[in-house]
Amino acid sequence: RKYVYDFAEGNRAMADLLGGKGANLAEMTVMGLPVPPGFTITTEACRAYLATGAPPQGLAEEVGEHLHALERAMGRKLGQVDEPLLVSVRSGARFSMPGMMDTVLDIGLTDESVAGLAAWSGDERLAWDSYRRLVQMFGTTVLGVEPGHFSDALRAAKLAKGVTGDLELDAADLRALTTTFKNIVREHAGREFPQDPREQLDLAIRSVFESWNTERAHVYRRAEHIPEDLGTAVNVCAMVFGNLGDDSGTGVAFTRDPATGAPGVYGDYLADAQGEDVVAGIRNTLPLHRLAELQPRPYEQLMAIMRTLEEHYRDLCDIEFTIERGKLWMLQTRVGKRTAAAAFRIAEALREEGVIDADEALRRVTGAQLAQLMFPRFADTATRPVATGVAASPGAAVGEVVFDSATAVRRAEAGAAVILVRKETNPDDLDGLIHARGVLTSRGGKTSHAAVVARGLGRTCVCGAESLNVDAANRRFTTADGTVVAEGDVISIDGTAGEVYLGRLAVVPSPVVDYFEGRRPPGRDALLQAVDRIITHADARRRLEVRANADTSDDTRRARRLGATGVGLCRTEHMFLGDRRVLVERLILAETDAERESALAALLPLQREDFVRILEEMDGLPVTIRLLDPPLHEFLPDRTALTAQVAVAQALGRPDAPETLLRAVDRLHEQNPMLGTRGVRLGLVVPGLYEMQVRAIAEAAAIRVRAGGTPRVEIMIPLVGDVRELDIMAGRARRILDAITAETQFPYEIGTMIELPRAALTAGRIAGSAEFFSFGTNDLTQTVWGFSRDDVEATVFPAYITEGIFAVSPFETIDRDGVGKLIADAVEAGRAARPDLVLGVCGEHGGDPASIGFFHDVGLDYVSCSPFRVPVARLEAGRAAV
Ligand code: ADP
Ligand code: MG
Ligand code: MG
């Protein structure tokens, strides 16, 4: 077992074993870049430690050997009294992970070696400042002392001296402070600050191992879907000093702008400082190009190294560096994080430069990033936010503030745009969330109730804006600077950036959407050019077709502009609402065949007209029309609201209608409508209903043919569980279609949704009677899990996500193991029975970037999603194919 690797022994492919930081330090070392010498303790050692609570056999010896090698290389010994060697101990897991142990710098300083550091650096203040920082950092992160004890003592020291800044404390002050800090350690950790450098090192290593299991680390891993069992590596690295005067300093840099993707290096530099000072923000940093004047030689070297790194990694790199008395040292590099816009621009730029090919450029961007670019944004970037929080659900929402669900509903129904503001939300707020444009909370993170529900509903959400004081009882909230925002005041929230603004900001549509909808050519806009090139390549590569879920001709037109090649789901229930409700009531209340037939006859021309327009918009491409699915009672008035129906009843010429209606409501009432008279059951129970719909579709198609069009009709029968249900309905439909096509020819297909487990399990038999399957993954997920979506998403899921039962709602991303398994089996059985069976998916998963790869893998022919998601699906379908 080898637990320790010298930086010169590893490489970037070893990130599982050496962690990201260690693997890249090794890569840079092997590339011959100036990295301070050091070694990495493997994640395997960490896993062994966490399993047993003790360092694995042989680890201590191995660390000793590598430490000796390091000491030989440096010509100094750890913590030796004159010219001491000091090291940093740095955590570094496979995935970059805030929440784990902070880096401890200057390990090796002791009461004795501090004088050696002073002599070597010629700077006594520096030596004592380093030592007191070590005691402080070691005390808190390794020995678990409350940080407040140290910061209180620091404050007291400044107060006693009558100064305000840390920099005003001199060497003697810092020396006294170090003694105070050591006393704090003794009192609160129950032990002395270790004076043996090797003991310091060993304790720091252990504490990095243990930091894998801190609460913050768990929370982060859950949020980012990082496995719990990876463990972290530990990097031990010889210290270099950026705080030895004006010819020293430290900085961070990117090989391109990570915000926009624009070419050209980008970074910050701080002279006479150590790494932690840059992030602490105590002093103002300089833009990187200023380093060219300050330190031309190291600057040139840094530029050359950055070019080398970008060529080597073939991607945007970010780096951390330090300059010690004019000598440049590389302390870290990795492939840098970037915004969605930068991801597209960088991928396309690298392709254009010939660094990567078009397939690789496509792999470098994601559907989720494209979706982000498609949300509307605030026009004005000059206004300062009054608060920031977690960017929990993207978008830009403007509205008047409300503090409770009931007010949200009331104001929304009166036509107002509202933003629901709460400390945190709970299931009682669901109605308010549905009616709000956005939700803002002062507590909770990405998996809080508000965040989960808002994402599910597609509402903009900023949560955990902790600087806001929300006082729901008095219907107001207060910002950090004391501004009071009362109910009814307008605010603007940016769920993409996690920002809150006072007043009404102008919202602009996304230029990317304008591009997709053909309103704006890419022109010279670098982002649009990149999106254009990459989506074009995705279209060329993808095997999956992308259709849209569209119920109206407007949606259909939009979907086609956005690149849909068909309608995968046209729901007909919307066609029964509004003015037509009265006709539906007549249908439901019909007591004789004649009454029913007359109600159906009145609905027929209205439906037909709807279909004509949709078929016209999608002319030449398939349109899958689903026959009526929801339970009938949804079309009747609420039982308690029935009294208000008297007028309607009289208009129908039935003075007794309220009672009739009431009886109908009672008769149709179902304990569990989701599992009640829905879908094909409705078609079988209500005579003539499905037949009317089929006739409307067929007549619409005939009208389109006579008008010179090319309708391609697919009739979809929902909620089938057994092939006989399908056979009966399909038989009736064919009789109608055959009669009409005898006069006017047009192609049609009859198929079914696979949305019940029994349908999936008997897919082979069903395929004998269906020309296509469309997986209705919303209902399939409900019925496979036994989750009633409307009930559990707000109540059960936040807890399930926190408990790690699933990382993301199965209604958002397909549950591969359960629902996905059924789909895969049904695909196989269906194709075996009918090789030319057309297979698609029309649940919301069809537009989910994380699910589309799965649908490609199981061999579907198309995904269908909301029009807005069509470009995202095209991109992901392309990525799945390369
Ligand atoms: P993080 O994972 O938070 O970036 P690092 O291990 O990179 O933590 O350490 C943070 C900073 O500490 C580095 O950017 C660097 O400035 C400083 N640092 C770490 N190791 C050394 C070292 N051996 N010499 C000088 N500075 C160091
Ligand atoms: Mg770092
Ligand atoms: Mg369904």
Same domain, 678 and 815: yes
The Cα–Cα gap between 404 and 114 comes to: 60
646: pLDDT strictly greater than 60 = no
Catalytic residue ranges: 449, 842
Looking at all shown ligands, the one closest to residue 780's CA atom is 3
Q: Smallest Cα–Cα separation from 180: which of 222, 131, 214?
A: 131
The response to whether residue 364 sits with its C-beta less than 6 Å from ligand 1 reads: no
Cα–Cα–Cα angle for 284, 290, 292, nearest 5°?
A: 145
Q: Among 267-281, 575-589, 633-647, 711-725, name the most confident range.
A: 711-725
In a domain, 358, yes or no: no
Please tell me whether residues 708 and 568 are part of one structural domain: yes
Mutate to test the pocket of ligand 1, among 76, 88, 337 (most ligand atoms within 8 A of CB): 88
pLDDT tens-place string over residues 136-185: 999 999 999 999 999 999 999 999 999 988 888 999 999 999 999 999 99
Report yes or no: 365 and 875 within 8 Å, Cβ to Cβ: yes
ipTM, two decimals = 0.96
> Is residue 695 assigned to a domain?
yes
36 lines ligand 1 (CB under 6 A): yes
> CA-to-CA distance for 668 and 475, rounded, in angstroms?
42
- What is the per-residue burial (b if ≥16 Cβ within 10 Å, else e) of 860-882? bbbbbbbbbbbbbbbbbbbbbbe
Closest ligand 1 atom to Cα of 242: 25
pLDDT computed for residue 643 by the predictor: 60
CA of residue 510 to ligand 1 center, whole Å: 39
Residue 745 maps to which CATH number? 3.20.20.60
Q: What's the pLDDT tens digit per position in 695-719?
A: 999 999 999 999 999 999 999 999 9
- What strands lie across the sheet with 418-422, from one edge to the other? 387-388, 499-502, 490-494, 396-402, 418-422, 438-441, 460-463, 390-393
Check whether 281 has a pLDDT greater than 60. no
Residues 122 and 262 placed together within one structural domain of the fold: no
Mean predicted confidence (pLDDT) in 511-535: 95
In this structure, is residue 721 part of a structural domain?
A: yes
- In this predicted structure, the answer to whether residue 189 has a pLDDT above a threshold of 70 is yes
Ligand nearest to the CA of 251: 1
Burial class (CB within 10 angstroms; exposed 0-12, middle 13-18, buried 19+) of 316: buried
Tell which one of 25, 87, 103 to mutate to probe ligand 1, the residue whose CB is within 8 A of the most ligand atoms: 103
Closest CA to 346 of 437, 266, 429, 240: 266
Atom 24 of ligand 1, residue of closest alpha carbon: 239
Q: What is the pLDDT of residue 448?
A: 76
pLDDT in tens, 812-845: 999 999 999 999 999 999 999 999 999 999 988 9
Q: Which of 287, 316, 335 is the last residue of a domain?
A: 335
Query: Does any ligand 1 atom lie closer than 6 A to the CB of residue 211?
Result: no
pLDDT attached to residue 674: 86
Share of the chain residues as helix, strand and coil, in percent rounded to the nearest 5: 50, 15, 30
Q: Are residues 256 and 192 in the same domain?
A: no
Helix (H) or strand (E) holding 67: helix 59-74
Q: How many CB atoms lie within 10 A of CB 167?
A: 11
Select from 371, 355, 336, 366 the least CA-distant residue to 261: 336
Whether the CB of 285 sits within 6 Å of ligand 1: no
Contact of 717 with 681, CB cutoff 8 Å: no
* Residue in the block written with tokens 């609460």: 215
Q: What is the mean pLDDT of residues 620-637?
A: 89
Q: What angle do CA 11, 75, 332 make, to 5 degrees?
A: 30
- Decide: 783 in ligand 1 pocket, CB within 6 A: no
Q: Within this chain, do residues 331 and 406 fall inside the same structural domain, yes or no? A: no
Do residues 152 and 267 share a domain? no
Where a domain ends, among 209, 235, 261? 235
Q: What domain range is 70 assigned to? A: 4-235
797 Cα: distance to centroid of ligand 3 (angstroms) = 21
Cα-to-centroid distance, 826 and ligand 3 (Å): 17
Pairwise CA distance, residues 500 & 498, whole Å: 7
Question: Measured from the CB, is residue 253 less than 6 Å from ligand 1?
Answer: no
Q: Domain count of the chain?
A: 4
Label residue 798 by pLDDT band (50, 70, 90): confident
Domain termination site, one of 483, 508, 533: 508
Q: Does a structural domain hold residue 369?
A: no
How far apart CA 273 and CA 250 sit, in angstroms, is 6
For residue 24 and ligand 1, the question of a CB distance below 6 A is answered with no
The proportion of the chain whose per-residue pLDDT surpasses 90, expressed as a percent, equals 76
In a domain, 498, yes or no: yes
Instruction: Give the pLDDT of residue 447.
Output: 66
Mean pLDDT of the chain: 92
Ligand 1 mutation target, pool 220, 331, 334, most atoms within 8 A of CB: 331
Q: Are residues 463 and 575 in the same domain?
A: no
Residue 119: which CATH number? 3.30.1490.20
CA 331 to centroid of ligand 1, rounded, Å: 6
154 Cα–ligand 1 center, Å: 23
pLDDT of residue 113: 96
Q: Are 425 and 441 in contact (CB under 8 A)?
A: yes
Does residue 282 have a pLDDT over 70? no
Task: Pick the residue whose CA is nearest to atom 19 on ligand 1.
Answer: 88
Give the pLDDT mean for 485-507: 95
pLDDT at 644 over 80: no
Say yes or no: 609 and 707 in one domain. Answer: yes
CB 3 within 8 A of CB 58: yes
Report phi then psi at 323, rounded to 5: -115, 120
CA of 272 to the centre of ligand 1 (A): 15
462: amino acid identity, one letter: V
Same domain? For 254 and 219 the reply is no
Ligand nearest to the CA of 628: 3
pLDDT surpasses 90 at 446: no
Give the count of beta carbons closer than 10 Å to the beta carbon of residue 300. 13
pLDDT at 198 over 90: yes
Which atom of ligand 1 is least distant from the CA of 278? 16
- Is residue 365 over pLDDT 60? yes
Question: Domain holding 487: CATH number?
Answer: 3.50.30.10
pLDDT band per the 50, 70, 90 thresholds, residue 211: very high
Instruction: Kindly state the tokens that stand for 480.
Output: 């950090």
Partners of 108 in beta bridges: none
Average pLDDT over residues 223-245: 91
pLDDT tens profile 54-67: 999 999 999 999 99
Q: Same domain for 193 and 287?
A: no
What was the pLDDT predicted at 789?
81
Q: Is the CB of 318 under 6 A from ligand 1?
A: no
As a residue count, the chain comes to: 882
**pLDDT score at 673:** 86
* Banded pLDDT at 429 (limits 50, 70, 90): confident
> Does residue 655 have a pLDDT over 70?
no
When comparing pLDDT for 796 and 222, which is higher? 796
Does residue 117 have a pLDDT over 60? yes
Q: Is the CB of 106 under 6 A from ligand 1?
A: no
| Same domain, yes or no: 407 and 434 | yes
Q: Is the residue at 123 inside a domain?
A: yes
Ligand 1 pocket, residue 22 CB under 6 Å: no
Token pair in block for residue 479:
């910002």
* All residues with CB under 5 Å from ion ligand 3: 755, 776, 779
pLDDT exceeds cutoff 70 at 799: yes
35: exposed, middle or buried (Cβ count in 10 Å: 0-12, 13-18, 19+): buried
Lowest mean pLDDT among 446-450, 515-519, 557-561: 446-450
Q: How high is the pLDDT of residue 692? A: 96
Question: How would residue 379 be classed by pLDDT, with cut points 50, 70 and 90?
Answer: confident
**∠864-628-815 over CA atoms, to 5°?**
40
Tens digit of each residue's pLDDT (9 = 90 or more) over 289-312: 999 999 999 999 999 999 999 999
Distance CA 422, CA 583 (A): 42
- Phi and psi at residue 328, to the nearest 5°: -85, 135
Distances (CA, A) of 368 to 340, 517, 691: 8, 19, 42
What is the reported pLDDT for 794? Answer: 73
What's the CA gap between 385 and 405, in Å, rounded?
25
652: pLDDT strictly greater than 80:
no
Q: Is 333 in the pocket of ligand 1 (CB under 6 A)?
A: no
Helix segments in 507-576, DSSP class H: 511-516, 526-541, 553-561
> How remote is the CA of residue 210 from the centroid of ligand 2, in Å?
19
Same domain, 735 and 706: yes
Q: Which residues contact 764 (CB under 8 A, 6 or more apart)?
A: 829, 830, 832, 833
275 Cα to the center of ligand 1, angstroms: 6
- 37's CB contacts (< 8 A; 6+ apart) are 6, 7, 70, 73, 74, 237, 238
Position 97 confidence tier, pLDDT thresholds 50, 70, 90: confident
Residue 652 in domain = no
Q: Which ligand 1 atom lies nearest to the CA of residue 332? A: 7
Which one has a higher pLDDT value, 576 or 269? Answer: 269
Q: Is 136 in the pocket of ligand 1 (CB under 6 A)?
A: no
Is residue 109 a part of any domain in this protein? Answer: yes
- 675 Cα to the center of ligand 1, angstroms: 59
Q: Is the pLDDT of residue 81 over 80?
A: yes
H or E stretch at 602? helix 593-617
